[in-house]
């Protein structure tokens, strides 16, 4: 079992417009497709893929995170996703299945997030995909998920 890394194309990293921010409360969006994580080298049962999303600003605050599976991931067994930082890979979303279409929500219909986080130093954001013991990332044949994040730099407030 090994972990492989992938870097998301700039075209799938979006800073949301002022109108979208006002409507949704989220500031950033990333779209991850199965083709980003179906690495042919990740063909051993239990292999994982870490997708680099980019870096936070310094003195950042992340207030909430949500994911929306727009196309169910298929062909890779029971695939789950963590969203966090390189120091805490499940800081925001922890082991949520991405094999069914729809928002990843918790009890009370709130977006799944472990809680607000902040740090003085910049940090690397990432999504980590974990396969069940019955398959591997190279076997994926479909899937797409949007990750939304509300993030600010404390240096820009006030």
Which pLDDT value is given to residue 108?
A: 40
Which pLDDT value is given to residue 107?
A: 40
> Over 90: is that where the pLDDT of 19 sits?
yes
Quote the CA–CA distance of 6 and 4 in Å, as a whole number: 7
pLDDT cut 90: percent of the chain above it: 42
Cβ–Cβ contacts within 10 Å for residue 131, how many? 26
Q: What is the dihedral of CA 48, 49, 54, 58, to 10 degrees?
A: 10
Q: 117-145 pLDDT, tens per residue?
A: 778 888 999 999 988 666 778 888 999 99
Q: Which of 5, 55, 13 is nearest to 32 (CA)?
A: 13
Q: 82-124 pLDDT, tens per residue?
A: 999 998 888 888 889 999 999 986 544 455 555 567 788 889 9
User: Alpha carbon of 130 to those of 49, 59, 90: distances in Å?
Assistant: 7, 30, 12
Weakest-pLDDT range from 59-63, 115-119, 146-150: 115-119
Widest CA span of the chain, in angstroms? Answer: 51
């Amino acid at each position: 079992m090994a972990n492989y890394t992938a870097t998301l194309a700039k075209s799938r990293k979006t800073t949301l417009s002022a109108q979208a921010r006002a409507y949704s409360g989220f500031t950033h969006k990333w779209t991850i497709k199965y083709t980003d994580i179906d690495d042919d080298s990740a063909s051993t049962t239990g292999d994982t893929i870490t997708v680099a999303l980019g870096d936070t600003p310094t003195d950042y605050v992340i207030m909430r995170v949500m994911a929306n599976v727009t196309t169910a991931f298929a062909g890779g067994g029971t695939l789950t996703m963590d969203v966090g930082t390189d120091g805490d890979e499940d800081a925001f979303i922890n082991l949520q299945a991405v094999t069914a279409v729809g928002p990843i929500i918790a009890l009370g219909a709130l977006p799944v997030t472990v809680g607000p986080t902040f740090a003085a130093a910049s940090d690397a954001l990432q999504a980590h995909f974990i396969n069940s013991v019955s398959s591997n990332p190279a076997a994926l044949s479909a899937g797409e998920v949007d990750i939304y994040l509300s993030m600010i730099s404390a240096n820009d407030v006030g």
